[in-house]
Structure 1
Amino acid sequence: MKKEVLLAIIIGFGIGLVATFGLYSARKTIGGSYQIYSPVPEGKNEQVANLPIDLSLSLSSPLDESISKDPKTKVSGSTSPSTWVVIFSEKEEKLMKSDEKGQFETEVALISGENEIEVTALSESGNTIKKIITVVYSTVEI
């Protein structure tokens, strides 16, 4: 019985060494072929710094990691004017456009427990910015 256990341990150790060596060799072979290419040609960095930023996103409510006693919560904030805003929650999705001042506001239904709310702003030029907040819906008295 002891010989069989010892033999199984030695065989398992040998298989582990062979697998480790194979992974190490494959990783070493693949790892050497990566090259990082800059999307901006060298010497052109000063032009990138002068590009205007056409998109921003800030959320005023709800606060991240807040606790709500209501089954709905108000999601509001500001972004660039006339920007599409997409809100994904555990229960629903909403699509709206910010007003001429960049403000947006809507109500989102919550499920019991932890709710992850993702707010994404999409500019007309195709740029996106995303923020994720967590709201816990609980009916327990604190």
Structure 2
Amino acid sequence: MDESDWYIFKYEDYFTLRALFILSRKRIYTYIDNTMEIFEQSKMGLVFYQIRRFYLTQCINPVSESLQKYLRRLFASGLISGKQQESGDYSVYITRMGVTFLHEFGIRFDQRFRKDFSMVNIEYIEIPETEESMECAGSLQNVFI
């Protein structure tokens, strides 16, 4: 993707990236489910889940289908990636390119994001679909990394 100019960065992509950033600050982390060695063997599509950490405990939550869809899209495009932890779990993080896209498209999408995110249940995020699908060409040739 780093040499392509075909990638269309949508509002839903921005919403997902920004939500991941905010959730991590609230101690809610996203992981790739690797119980069937899907990630290592690449047999099927990736499955994600979230862990909310408390002082002494943690709570595991499923991820909505709409969030799954955009997490997979962002993972395939390289805007998010996974890192294996000591426990063997794969935690999701926003790549440098993903952070760049957040900064570049923040002016266009942030006001709407704030409105939409204020109405979301953070323990089970549904990605709001746009009526017009506000798309803008996200050519990496125009984004400075």
TM-score, normalised relative to structure 2: 0.20
Structure number with the higher helix fraction is 2
Larger radius of gyration: 1
Structure number with the higher strand fraction is 1
